[in-house]
Amino acid sequence: MDNEQNIPSPSPIEIIKDNSNYLRGTINESLADPLTGGMQPNDQVLIKFHGTYQQQDRDLDEERKHQKLEPLYSFLIRVRVPAGVTTAEQWLAMDSLSDEYGDKTLKLTTRQAFQFHGVLKRNLKKTIQEINKSLLDTIAACGDVNRNVMCSANPFESPIHAEVAEDAKKISAHLTPRTNAYHEIWLDGKLVEGGEKEEEPLYGKLYLPRKFKIAIAIPPRNDSDVLSNDLGFIAIVEDGELIGYNITVGGGMAYTFGNTATYPRVADVVGYIPKEKIVEASEAILIFQRDHGNRSERKNARLKYTIDRLGIHFFHAEIKRINGTVLRPNREYHFDSMGDKYGWIQSADGFWHYTVFVEGGKLVDKNGYLAKTALREIAQIHQGTFILTGNQNVVIAQVTKTQKPLIEKILKKFKVINATGISSLRQNSIACAALPYCGLAFAEAERYLPTLIDRIDQVLEANDLFKVPISIRMTGCPNGCGRPFLAEIGLVGRAPGLYNLYLGASFTGERLNKLYMEMVNEDQIIDLLSPIIQHFAQARTKDEHFGDFVIRKGYVKATTAGKYFHA
């Protein structure tokens, strides 16, 4: 309801934040309540800022209902890993925590983070404490704050990659919330007295209107999917030196079925800054969104809508007013892919780096395929680091010449997929977690996409396209955690077994796809894709990508901007 001045009322979440005393709420009381495995509703909102979500095992819902039990509540915990870099010791700690307190799986997310699923309330605090002991944390991994800052994978590939990864860490540290609530609640830190003032200089007590995502890409690879972020930086290199960044604003994937006022959006490239201004520019743009984002309608609260509503000229003027950030004209850049380079590469300093394909980002020992064990054994001897990639894979980085054969031996012993024997479609696949834990999922994603790819692979093989790179992404709902609207073949769950099929995104993450067919099942997906794939095999031009082909041949219209996604 509007007030007398016709100012829209803040959304209920804004009121929860306002009354939370800087994200404390009654989380401690909820944790101590032995009568339920869940948290109080307001605390369910607040714990997201601390890096955890309440979920329930939806596979067991019916059975539990029958037994007159509450749903089997458990918690997702997301571990913030700026630029995706972890030590071998940290890897071992995450691996062991997933076995001890989680569901024995380790999810590598599309934002270079670790995710545990299935953690029971009684183990939540212990797990977060153990994560902090390993010098990682979960603060701001979720919630209306800046999330994990992504970066082109492998900072050890070149000095430029290293410099850019350092910038990602600087931004992450600068934009981390300052509230002491996290330490009080999870780490038994000293309580801030009731009336005592706490400083949250960047965010204020309401934090941001919605989540805020930042990524950095180093052309020609767009492996961080930079244009899907609220704020992005594209590294500009001249004569072998990093000189600065093009800034991108207003990317975001989510939309709501049936609501055309919501849409995914590819970010606009709005200017250039010299490299030393990256933290200052990040702060200005975050403050712009803090002050101008929509706080009454969460579905329209992301920066992408603020930019479309207020216009780019206002944006430029405001960030200049906030802290003097002035954007210069964009510099030239070129992307050629969004994917990871699998297998071994050697960097100029002589180290080796091996990118392991992890299907759906899910590390689990299952059906005789012991990828989780293999990486644990590698971590036990590895003297370098592990890098989580934005494509849900992992790089075993900084391997010495002496260690290379030892690591290779473990990979071979466990037959860990090195991506050479699989289709390029599978190599370029992403799936969100979806069922059984995600409460928003309408359909399967991570558990099902591998099976669907088996069938599409047969069509590709029959058309001699098995090794032609095509991107495919599946999510259980249109919230877009797996960035499905930037895939050449996008599949988004509508109901159990039914998906919307989207086609026509660019292979480089610079153009969204478009709805091709609604509510299709597996056989229909294969029936729809087969003739298009066959046509692609016969009529594509040299090096033409599938997403460009389906537009050239009129299967779908090109989506030239987010607001035309539904047109």
Residues with a known catalytic role: 78, 147, 211, 213, 432, 438, 477, 481
Of the pair 327, 432, the CB lying nearest ligand SF4 is at 432
d(CA 315, CA 552): 35
**Of the residues 85, 139, 445, 489, which one makes contact with ligand SF4 according to CB under 6 A:** 445
Three-state DSSP class for residue 536: helix
CA distance 433 to 311: 35
Among 60, 440, 517, 561, binds ligand SF4 (CB under 6 A): 440
Residue 256: CB minimum distance to ligand SF4, A:
11
**Roughly how many angstroms between the first and final C-alpha of the chain, as a whole number?**
31
Instruction: Point out which span in 168-176, 379-387, 407-415, 477-485 binds ligand SF4 (CB under 6 A).
Output: 477-485
One-letter amino acid identity for 86? T
C-alpha torsion sign, points 449, 452, 456, 458? positive
Tell me how far, at minimum, the Cβ of 394 lies from ligand SF4, in Å. Answer: 20
Q: Which of 479, 524, 530, 534 binds ligand SF4 (CB under 6 A)?
A: 479
Are β-strands 73-79 and 114-119 bridged in parallel, bridged antiparallel, or unpaired? antiparallel
3-state DSSP of 96-126: HHHHHCCCCCEEECCCCCEEEEEECHHHHHH
481 touching ligand SF4, by CB under 6 A:
yes
256 is a contact residue toward ligand SF4 (CB under 6 A): no
C-beta of 433: minimal distance to ligand SF4 in Å? Answer: 5
Q: Is residue 486 close enough to count as binding ligand SF4 by CB under 6 A?
A: no
Contact between 400 and ligand SF4 per CB under 6 A: no
Give 480 or 504: the residue with its C-beta nearer to ligand SF4: 480
Helical spans, DSSP H, in 274-422: 278-292, 303-310, 312-323, 371-381, 404-413
Q: Give yes or no for residue 529 binding ligand SF4 (CB under 6 A).
A: no
In the complex, the smallest distance separating the C-beta of residue 496 from ligand SF4, rounded to whole angstroms, is: 12
Contacts with ligand SF4, 457-476, as mask; x by CB under 6 A: ------------------xx
Peptide bond into 436 cis (omega under 30): yes
Stretch that binds ligand SF4, among 57-65, 152-160, 428-436, 453-461 (CB under 6 A): 428-436
Q: How far is the CB of 476 from ligand SF4 (least distance, A)?
A: 3
Binding flag, residue 113, ligand SF4 (CB under 6 A): no
**CA dist list (Å): 123 to 80, 174, 185, 195, 326:** 19, 30, 14, 31, 48
Classified as helix, coil or strand, 473 is strand
Q: Binding-site residue total for ligand SF4 (CB under 6 A)?
A: 13
The sign of the CA dihedral 361, 366, 367, 372 is positive
Q: Kindly tell me which residue out of 434, 472, 505, 525 binds ligand SF4, with binding defined by CB under 6 A.
A: 434
Work out how close the CB of 359 gets to ligand SF4 at its nearest, in angstroms, rounded to a whole number: 16
Q: Among 72, 97, 106, 432, which residue sits at the site for ligand SF4 (rule: CB under 6 A)?
A: 432
d(CA 157, CA 167): 16
Distance CA 485, CA 479 (A): 10
Where do contacts with ligand SF4 occur on this chain (CB under 6 A)?
Answer: 432-434, 438, 440-441, 445, 475-477, 479-481
